[in-house]
């Protein structure tokens, strides 16, 4: 028998989940590249901060708890972007192993830096640009996303492939991004109040 554990109406925050690939450069560094990103509805519980001592220096740790639907692509080294800040996962719990309906992530804020295997690799803070459709348009331009790295483009939660040359094919979900102008040309026109979301760093 199904027993309600969470009020789905409380899943009212858009959260970006990122999976990374790491390579080693000639200098022995470990540059990171986003290989998979998804934006989902989640419940973000009240965030809390605490002070601690690290190598004789007082620092603040900023934590939060995020509850979302179960997704096997979300693992312990997945990073999370919420409210224009990046978090790493301290612990990841499947709420009931049998039905696997929900996951609980306990996270710490990393101020735009990705921590992996003890090495801090600055990759910049990820941002989200939101666009509300008027109806019938296939393009919009914003100076916020000029010469940025765009790693996600969505219309009402549906992912579109980001391309940099050519023309978007109307038979596919594609969007042409022109970095120099910050313009986006979509393969399918917007509906009234349809939301476009651009993820970039």
pLDDT bin (cut points 50, 70, 90) of residue 52 is low
Structure tokens at 37: 């990103």
pLDDT at position 122, please?
Answer: 37
Residue 193, C-beta contacts closer than 8 angstroms, at least 6 positions apart: 132, 133, 135
What CA–CA distance (Å, rounded) separates 87 from 108?
5
Give the chain's domains with CATH numbers: 8-122 (2.40.10.270), 127-200 (no CATH)
Of 24, 23, 26, nearest to 34 (Cα)?
Answer: 23
Question: How do the residues of the chain divide into helix, strand and coil, expressed in percent and rounded to 5?
Answer: 5, 55, 45
**Distances 23 to 86, 121, 159, 187 between C-alpha atoms, Å:** 21, 12, 26, 33
- How many other C-beta atoms lie within 10 A of the C-beta of residue 161? 13
Please check the confidence at residue 118 and state whether its pLDDT lies above 60: no
Structure tokens at 116: 């992996």
Of the candidate ranges 34-43, 99-108, 183-192, the one whose mean pLDDT is the lowest:
34-43
Of the candidate ranges 54-63, 91-100, 101-110, 174-183, the one whose mean pLDDT is the lowest:
54-63
Name the pTM for this structure. Answer: 0.48
Q: State mean pLDDT over 161-168.
A: 90
Residue with tokens 């220096």: 57
Looking at every residue in the chain, the average pLDDT score rounds to 79
């Amino acid at each position: 028998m199904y027993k309600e554990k969470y009020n789905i109406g409380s899943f009212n925050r858009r959260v970006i989940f990122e999976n990374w690939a790491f390579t080693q450069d000639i200098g022995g560094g470990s540059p990171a590249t986003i290989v998979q990103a998804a934006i989902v509805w989640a419940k973000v519980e009240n965030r809390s901060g605490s002070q601690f001592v690290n190598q004789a220096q007082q620092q603040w740790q900023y934590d939060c708890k995020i509850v979302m639907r179960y997704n096997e692509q979300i693992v312990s080294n997945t990073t999370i972007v919420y409210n224009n800040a990046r978090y790493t996962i301290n612990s990841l719990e499947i709420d009931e192993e049998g039905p696997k309906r929900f996951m609980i992530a306990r996270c710490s804020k990393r101020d735009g830096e990705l921590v992996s295997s003890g090495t801090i690799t600055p990759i910049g803070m990820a941002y989200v640009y939101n666009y509300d459709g008027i109806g019938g348009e296939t393009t919009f331009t914003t100076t916020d996303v000029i010469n940025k790295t765009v790693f996600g483009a969505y219309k009402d939660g549906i992912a579109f492939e980001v391309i940099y040359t050519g023309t978007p094919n109307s038979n596919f979900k594609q969007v042409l991004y022109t970095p120099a102008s910050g313009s986006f040309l979509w393969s399918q026109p917007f509906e009234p109040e349809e939301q476009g979301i651009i993820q970039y760093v």
